[in-house]
Chains A and B, each alone.
Chain A
Amino acid sequence: GNSVTQMEGPVTLSEEAFLTINCTYTATGYPSLFWYVQYPGEGLQLLLKATKADDKGSNKGFEATYRKETTSFHLEKGSVQVSDSAVYFCALSVMKTSYDKVIFGPGTSLSVIP
């Protein structure tokens, strides 16, 4: 079946540190891949996405590249800020009949300290 695995947290970094959150997936066919972010007390929001192999999604300084050969979609940011503290969810979308069924990973909590 389709599934998403991501590194367990919590992850604690100092401000301006480099961030990597690993994500790997298993899917039939060619899924679209996403990173969603959930800030404290807020709903999930789409951070970035990639719809085909070698695509790079980017937003707010975050990047992730769709690697079909390694079935990965690792999230990176060169210099994190305190405001990046949140829970990050890797997800994939597989067209199921007439809609996209989104499958989420368990989430990785990130805390950035000044």
Chain B
Amino acid sequence: GAGVSQSPSNKVTEKGKDVELRCDPISGHTALYWYRQSLGQGLEFLIYFQGNSAPDKSGLPSDRFSAERTGGSVSTLTIQRTQQEDSAVYLCASSLALAGSVSYEQYFGPGTRLTVT
């Protein structure tokens, strides 16, 4: 079956423009995560979805960042008025929902490389 897919794979935008990044999770995975990977840095958690709701948005760095998920499937991460410090690789991951104390492996997409000029 298909893995997690993300689009676009690369995006170059001018400072001040808005961008939308898309994530298609693995079919049947109800949990979806967004991370940011900056050059030389580890992965920074941004937001988590369980179905269409986002119980944890604590990682979003500013109110310029927002995300939504519709139909329990595709998710879009939107960055408004982009700044140069937003340049990074944005990774999406999905997993099955938790069952009691069992947690499931997160499957990652290839990422979207965002460059703000």
A: residues with CB less than 8 A from B are 4, 32, 36, 41-46, 49, 89, 91, 93, 95-107
Contacts and interface: CB of A to CB of B under 8 A. Distances in A.
B109 interface: yes
Query: Which residue, of A32, A105, A107, has the highest number of chain B Cβ atoms within 10 A?
Result: A107
Given A43-B91, A102-B33, 17 more contacts: A42-B110, A44-B43, A44-B93, A46-B105, A89-B43, A91-B43, A93-B103, A95-B103, A98-B50, A99-B31, A99-B50, A99-B98, A101-B45, A102-B45, A102-B106, A104-B42, A106-B40
Given A99-B48, A104-B42, A107-B42, A43 B110 contact: yes
A82 B79 CA distance: 38
Contact of B56 (A4, A99, A106): A99
Nearest to A91: B43
Residue of A41, A43, A102, A106 ringed by the most chain B CB atoms within 10 A: A43
A98 B55 contact: yes
16 contacts: A36-B108, A43-B4, A43-B108, A43-B110, A89-B43, A97-B55, A97-B56, A98-B98, A99-B56, A99-B103, A100-B103, A101-B56, A103-B45, A104-B35, A104-B43, A106-B40
Contacts of B108: 36, 43-45
B70 interface: no
Interface residues of B, number: 26
Main secondary structure on chain A at its contact with chain B?
Answer: strand
Contact of B55 (A49, A99, A104): A99
Contacts of A98: 50, 55, 98
A32 B50 contact: no
Contact of A41 (B33, B41, B110): B110
Nearest to A8: B40
A109 to B, nearest CB: 10
B111 interface: yes
